[in-house]
C-alpha cells in the first residue's frame, strides 16, 4: 500500500488515505474501480466472441498496453519495479480507464545501502497463486526472477510486458509448460516462435513480432533497456499503421 500511495499516475489506482485505526491496525483507502481485466477480455477473444473482437481491435489492445506500460515507466523512474505484470493485473474501467493493479510484490531498488533481498521463487509462486485468480502467474516471470541471486531491475517488467504482448498477438502464452518446472525451463531456455507464425490466421505484422521478441530476450542486456523505449516502438507502429490504412 505504501508503494501504491507513492505512485501518483493516471494509470495507477489512487490511494486516498494510509494509516492506523484506533486499535492500531493498518488500513488504506483506494479509489473503487469497476470493470474487467485484460485476461477476461483475451479469453473471450480466443473463444471467438464476436462482440468482444469488435470492441477490442488490435489497435485498441496496443493502446491498453501503452497505458499500462506508462504506469510501469513512471514507477521505474521512482525506483519501483512491479514484478507481477500479467493480464489479470491490467484493469479496464467502464469508461475507458486503464489501470495497472496489484503492486503487492513490487520492490523498491536503487536505494543507497539497500540490500538485494528477493523473495525465493517458490515462496513468490505460492504468494502469486494464493489469490485464486489463475495459477499461471509464473508464465510471465523473467529468467532472472527464476534464477536465485540474480539482480532484478526494470527489465524484468519489460520482459513480463513482452509476454503479455505476445499473448495479445498470438492468443497464447509463449512459455507455458505441462507443469511449473517445465514452464521455468521454457522461460530460461526456450526461444518461442514469432507470434505471426503461431497465429498465421491473424496476419500479425512482422514489426510487432520484432517488438515482442526483443522484449522477451533471455538476457536482460538484449531487451529494451527502458519501458519508454518499448512504448516508443509500439506507438510508432500504431502511427504507421494508421497512416497506411
Q: Residue 127, SS3?
A: helix
The total number of structural domains that make up the chain = 1
pLDDT of residue 222: 98
Residue 40: CATH number of its domain = 1.10.510.10
Asked whether residue 123 carries a pLDDT value surpassing 90, the answer given is no
Q: For residue 50, is it within any domain?
A: yes
List pLDDT tens digits, range 188-221: 999 999 999 999 999 999 999 999 999 999 999 9
List the one residue out of 91, 87, 193, 106 whose CA is nearest residue 154: 106
Full domain range(s) for residue 98:
34-244
Q: For residue 160, is it within any domain?
A: yes
Cα–Cα dist 104/97, whole Å: 21
Q: Residue 36, SS3?
A: strand
User: Cell triple for residue 156?
Assistant: 524484468
Helix count (H) and strand count (E) of the chain? 11, 7
Q: For residue 23, is it within any domain?
A: no
pLDDT of residue 124: 46
| The pairing of beta strand 26-30 with beta strand 15-20 | antiparallel
List pLDDT tens digits, range 51-75: 999 999 999 999 999 999 999 999 9
Q: For residue 3, is it within any domain?
A: no
**140: exposed, middle or buried (C-beta count within 10 Å: 0-12, 13-18, 19+)?**
buried
Cα–Cα dist 141/161, whole Å: 10
Q: Is 102 among the residues known to form the active site?
A: no
Q: For residue 8, is it within any domain?
A: no
List pLDDT tens digits, range 14-42: 665 566 777 878 655 666 778 999 999 99
List pLDDT tens digits, range 161-194: 999 999 999 999 999 999 999 999 999 999 999 9
pLDDT of residue 16: 55
Identify which of 4-18, 145-159, 197-211 has the greatest average pLDDT.
197-211
- Provide the pLDDT confidence category of residue 148 given band limits of 50, 70 and 90: confident
Residues 84, 102, 118, 153: which is the catalytic one? 84
Asked whether residue 132 carries a pLDDT value surpassing 50, the answer given is no
Using H for helix, E for strand and C for coil, what is the string for 147-197? CCCCCCCHHHHHHHHHHHHHHHHHCCCCCCCCCHHHHHHHHHHCCCCCHHH
User: Cell triple for residue 182?
Assistant: 517445465
Amino acid at each position: 500500500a505504501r508503494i501504491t500511495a507513492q505512485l501518483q499516475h493516471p494509470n495507477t489506482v489512487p490511494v486516498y488515505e494510509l494509516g492506523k485505526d484506533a486499535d492500531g491496525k493498518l488500513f488504506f483507502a483506494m479509489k473503487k474501480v469497476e470493470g474487467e481485466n485484460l485476461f477476461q477480455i483475451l479469453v473471450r477473444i480466443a473463444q471467438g466472441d464476436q462482440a468482444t473482437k469488435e470492441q477490442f481491435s488490435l489497435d485498441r489492445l496496443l493502446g491498453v498496453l501503452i497505458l499500462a506500460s506508462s504506469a510501469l515507466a513512471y514507477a521505474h523512474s521512482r525506483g519501483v519495479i512491479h514484478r507481477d505484470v500479467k493480464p489479470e493485473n491490467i484493469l479496464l474501467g467502464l469508461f475507458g480507464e486503464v489501470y495497472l493493479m496489484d503492486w503487492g510484490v513490487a520492490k523498491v531498488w536503487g536505494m543507497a545501502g539497500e540490500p538485494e533481498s528477493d523473495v525465493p521463487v517458490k515462496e513468490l509462486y505460492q504468494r502469486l497463486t494464493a489469490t485464486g485468480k489463475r495459477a499461471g502467474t509464473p508464465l510471465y516471470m523473467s529468467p532472472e526472477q527464476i534464477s536465485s541471486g540474480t539482480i532484478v531491475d526494470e527489465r524484468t517488467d519489460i520482459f513480463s510486458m513482452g509476454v503479455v504482448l505476445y499473448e495479445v498477438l498470438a492468443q497464447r502464452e509463449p512459455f507455458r509448460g505441462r507443469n511449473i518446472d517445465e514452464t521455468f525451463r521454457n522461460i530460461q531456455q526456450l526461444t518461442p516462435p514469432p507470434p505471426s507464425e503461431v497465429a498465421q490466421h491473424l496476419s500479425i505484422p512482422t514489426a510487432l513480432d520484432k517488438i515482442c521478441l526483443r522484449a522477451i530476450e533471455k538476457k536482460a542486456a538484449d531487451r529494451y533497456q527502458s519501458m519508454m523505449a518499448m512504448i516508443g516502438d509500439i506507438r510508432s507502429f500504431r502511427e504507421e499503421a494508421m497512416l497506411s490504412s
